[in-house]
Structure 1
Amino acid sequence: MRLERLFCKRRFFKCFAVFILLFMAWMFISFMMTINDEDFPDDVVYDIFIDETQDDHPHVPLDQEIMEEAARKKSEKRYGSVENVDPPDPIILWWTEFTLEPGKSRSCKDKRCFFTNNRAFKSHKNLRAFMFYGTDFSPNDLPLPRQKHHEWALLHEESPKNNYLVCHEEALNLFNHTSTFRRESDFPITTQHLHSLKWLESDVYTKTISQKNRYQQQDGLAPVMFVQSDCDPPSDRDTFVKLLMKHVKVDSYGSCLHNKHLSHPIEKPLEGMAHKDFYELISRYKFALSMENAVCKDYITEKFWRPLMVGTVPIAFGSPALH
């Protein structure tokens, strides 16, 4: 009798579970049958499709016409239509939103150009050039088909790790003009973080070896400092610093291998790195680990120039051009 009761209970629960599943399936089908196309306007569907697909799967190529139509509608929503805007000057269009400039004419000596990031100008008769910001450049989002009279220009001032595509010759060959950290660039910005020779030769923060020794003895400072919050980058600098710490005392102020705190007002990396108190702190050390997050020819940032300016020896790792 007990076995029969147990068997009946199990069969009852199985039947009940099947009933619940069938009921839920019926409810779902009924709901889907009530949805009309009007509930999802074309622009909403395309916007959602493109935004979510590109964010989640940036490598998935989307239909070019759908992408351009969605981009045009987004552009008109943000800046308005360009039907009543007809700039007489040559138009330079930021295809990647770098300046957030909806439209403005600027002079360069005796020349004038109309700069904008409004993609609605893509087919304008006066369009002459497309500008791309290296970090945001994507082969899945290009102003195609490319016209013969349209020139493409690249500005890439950030780390090579931000976009490996623009480190390859095949990608660079797409552009008529380049402005990057490479000296071979048309408009090189290799020394963009070097303010001036006068700035570099300044002795405002410079300390003598005796003074640096005093800071080590009285304040307990290490001979070497390390300040980074971008941990485990492609250059693998953290591994080197870990090994160095086994043999030499290193004060690490950033979130990477952190063992020492930055005080107010320089505790925030972005706001504090150009503060005079930060320069003063670096000047008290004999050495500073000036290690880039990526190893690439001519990629030299403020990590190298800043210690030199305050009289601290940089232990550099990054551009092979540094000797």
Structure 2
Amino acid sequence: MSSGTFHKILKPLLFTTFIVGCFVIGFLMYYKPSTGWLNHLLKFSDSVTNGHDVFTKKNESSNSKNLIPQISPEKKEKNKTVILVWLLPFGSNREMDICSSAFNIEGCFITADKKLYNKSHGVFFHHRDIHRDLSNLPKSPRPLFQRWIWMNMESPTNSPKLPGINNLFNLTVNYHQDSTVQVPYGSIIPVEPQENFVLPNKNKLVCWIVSNWNPNYARVKYYRELQKHIKIDVYGRAFGKYIGKQDFHPTISSCKFYLSFENSVHKDYITEKLYNPLSLGTVPVVLGTTRQNYENFVQGDAFIHVDDFKSPKELADYLHLLDKNQELYLAYFKWRKHFKVQRHTFWTEHACKACEYIRKHKEYRVINDLIKWYWG
């Protein structure tokens, strides 16, 4: 090819290249492309980066808090089951937001704020605080989704029978084994690993701490006969010997035997009078419901029942025998190698467990004859 011919071809080619280049530069400067193709590319990138959106991250603040969705307190409450404590048991106000931390019960919000009545999934009533004419119960209509919870830990003998409480409540929280939600005064739970029980030092034989004194009580009548045959160290307001909180447990643990006498005799009514000495290394001598009923809650070789003896004198003789025979006495603590006492927390645990029940059971029921069920 001649030089003249080559120049004739090159000149138009360079001109064309220049024009195309200008067009491309102008296009890129003034045209904003769609990000659809980029989003598609990023979706593919998600699978490689374990679910993190790299495109979003590039535009986010470097503040790490912005990477975590923040949930407002209102939304937290909204996502929980709300239990309104309408009547604070015996006026006792305490920290309520402990269902998760204390009892491992999730998703519950316990409150005493009556302004939340219409938002509450359950309303919690302590029987002993309800007025006889029911005048301190809610006046507003009950929302259709709401359940009313009846709670009482006193025995029928010491609980007023209130007309009008039938067909009012949806579930019961009580020490009764057949309550909707059973919460006993205490429980015997397994120990892992096994424990070597060490008997506390003992300098007293039999002890009793009592404040509620009534000469007609079965326990008072039994005590009066028993104390004729064995020495009993007595404490409490009933005897003019007040025991402070700091002395309560040391006093019980210093005794070989403790009179765990209930103030009334009812099925399943087994109170802290049993669980205190059990937990403190003292053998309970029980008076209350039947031995068989006690054994539904605690091992039969962990306590002594007055019904096992024909008379208070026969019981006293047996206690004297155990006092002199350490091997026989220590047999009452064999259970401690595999089990321990768990005390239940009045009343917050009852509210939390009622909440847990409501979360798990959506069916609707009414306690049609609460008076017959509880008072017989």
Q: Output the TM-score relative to the length of structure 2.
A: 0.45
Counterparts in 2 of 1:107-118, with a 5 A limit? Answer: 112-118=107-113
Distance in 2 between the 1:227 and 1:141 partners?
A: 35
1:43 corresponds to which residue?
Answer: none
Distance in 2 between the 1:109 and 1:239 partners?
A: 44
1:95 to 83, 86, 105: 86
1:136 alignment partner AA: D
In the TM superposition, residue 114 of structure 1 has moved relative to its aligned partner by 4.2
Change (3 A) 1:247 1:154: same
In the TM superposition, residue 181 of structure 1 has moved relative to its aligned partner by 0.5
1:292 corresponds to which residue?
Answer: 262
2:264 alignment partner AA: A
Distance in 2 between the 1:118 and 1:225 partners?
A: 44
2:115 to 117, 120, 123: 120
2:187 alignment partner AA: L
Contact 1:102 / 1:118 at 8 angstroms: preserved in 2?
Answer: no
Larger Rg: 2
Q: Please tell me whether residue 253 in structure 1 is matched to residue 246 in structure 2.
A: no
User: Secondary structure of the equivalent of 1:185?
Assistant: coil
2:223 alignment partner AA: V
In the TM superposition, residue 308 of structure 1 has moved relative to its aligned partner by 3.7
Q: Please tell me whether residue 205 in structure 1 is matched to residue 199 in structure 2.
A: yes
Contact 1:202 / 1:309 at 8 angstroms: preserved in 2?
Answer: no
Change (3 A) 1:250 1:278: closer
Counterparts in 2 of 1:2-41, with a 5 A limit? Answer: none
Distance in 2 between the 1:255 and 1:198 partners?
A: 36
Comparing both chains, which one has the higher relative contact order based on Cα–Cα distances under 8 Å and sequence gaps of 6 or more?
2
1:322 corresponds to which residue?
Answer: 294
1:228 to 206, 210, 218: 210
Change (3 A) 1:171 1:295: farther
Distance in 2 between the 1:96 and 1:176 partners?
A: 17
2:127 to 134, 138, 150: 134
In the TM superposition, residue 100 of structure 1 has moved relative to its aligned partner by 4.1
2:138 corresponds to which residue?
Answer: 143
Contact 1:93 / 1:129 at 8 angstroms: preserved in 2?
Answer: yes
Counterparts in 2 of 1:75-90, with a 5 A limit? Answer: 88-89=78-79, 90=81
Distance in 1 between the 2:125 and 2:229 partners?
A: 45
Change (3 A) 1:177 1:241: same
Contact 1:238 / 1:256 at 8 angstroms: preserved in 2?
Answer: no
2:287 alignment partner AA: F
2:253 to 276, 280, 290: 280
1:182 to 172, 176, 180: 176
What number of residue pairs does the alignment pair up? 210
In the TM superposition, residue 290 of structure 1 has moved relative to its aligned partner by 0.7
Q: Please tell me whether residue 155 in structure 1 is matched to residue 148 in structure 2.
A: no
Distance in 2 between the 1:117 and 1:173 partners?
A: 24
Contact 2:151 / 2:173 at 8 angstroms: preserved in 1?
Answer: yes
Contact 2:215 / 2:221 at 8 angstroms: preserved in 1?
Answer: no
User: Secondary structure of the equivalent of 2:260?
Assistant: strand
RMSD over aligned CA atoms reads 4.1
Distance in 1 between the 2:99 and 2:237 partners?
A: 42
What are the superposed Cα offsets for residues 261-301 of structure 1, whole Å, 9 maximum, x if unpaired? 68xxxx31x4433x3x234312xx2x321111222211212
Distance in 2 between the 1:132 and 1:106 partners?
A: 18
Distance in 2 between the 1:102 and 1:315 partners?
A: 35
In the TM superposition, residue 244 of structure 1 has moved relative to its aligned partner by 2.1
Change (3 A) 1:197 1:235: farther
Distance in 2 between the 1:202 and 1:278 partners?
A: 22
What are the superposed Cα offsets for residues 158-204 of structure 1, whole Å, 9 maximum, x if unpaired? 555553338x9x847532222211111122112x3236344997622
User: Secondary structure of the equivalent of 1:278?
Assistant: helix
1:186 alignment partner AA: T
Change (3 A) 1:257 1:97: closer
User: Secondary structure of the equivalent of 1:256?
Assistant: helix
Contact 2:207 / 2:252 at 8 angstroms: preserved in 1?
Answer: no
Q: Identity, % of aligned pairs?
A: 28
Distance in 1 between the 2:105 and 2:228 partners?
A: 61
Distance in 2 between the 1:101 and 1:250 partners?
A: 37
User: Secondary structure of the equivalent of 1:120?
Assistant: helix
Contact 1:94 / 1:116 at 8 angstroms: preserved in 2?
Answer: yes
